[in-house]
């Protein structure tokens, strides 16, 4: 395992010890690859994914640099959550540093009406 991956997995475990999502306040988790960004809203008590979207989602038009793509994914997940009656979520950055694409996604979701 590369050193960066070991560091992220350690941070991920440390974060996940403290965060859980339930029906009232589900967990919004982010995965970032080199090309795409994926978001899921999960109810950890039941083990259900309540909403999900990514840059690979067919109904989403994605253009621009990766930070702009993350913003549109953040807006999309917020719209999905609000349509399902989810107003508040717990943000799980999944071990990634809160910077760049992760921050852009979170800020866009907040601006679209989702509370963290």
**Could you give the number of structural domains in the chain?**
1
More confident call, 22 vs 70: 70
Q: Is residue 38 part of a domain?
A: yes
User: pTM of whole model > 0.85?
Assistant: yes
Do residues 82 and 113 touch, judged by C-beta distance below 8 A? Answer: yes
Q: What is the pLDDT of residues 49-60, one digit of tens each?
A: 999 999 999 888
- For residue 15, give every residue at least 6 positions away whose Cβ sits within 8 Å of its Cβ, in sequence order, or none: 92, 93, 94, 95
Dist. CA 50–CA 34, nearest whole Å? 25
CATH of the domain at 37: 3.30.420.100
The domain in which residue 102 lies consists of 3-111
Q: Is residue 48 part of a domain?
A: yes
Q: Is residue 46 part of a domain?
A: yes
Q: Is residue 116 part of a domain?
A: no
Q: Which residue has the tokens 């107003």?
A: 87
Q: What is the pLDDT of residues 71-89, one digit of tens each?
A: 999 999 999 999 999 999 9
Task: Tell me the two tokens of residue 2.
Answer: 């590369």
């Amino acid at each position: 395992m590369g050193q960066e991956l070991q560091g992220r997995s350690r941070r991920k475990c440390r974060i996940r010890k403290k965060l859980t999502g339930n029906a009232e306040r589900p967990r919004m988790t982010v995965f970032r690859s080199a090309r795409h960004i994926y978001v899921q809203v999960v109810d950890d008590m039941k083990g259900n994914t309540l909403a999900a979207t990514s840059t690979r989602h067919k109904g989403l038009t994605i253009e621009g640099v990766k930070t702009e793509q993350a913003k549109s994914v953040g807006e999309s997940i917020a719209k999905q959550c609000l349509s399902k009656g989810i107003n508040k979520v717990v943000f799980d950055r999944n071990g990634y540093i809160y910077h760049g694409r992760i921050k852009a996604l979170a800020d866009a979701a907040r601006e679209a009406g989702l509370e963290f």
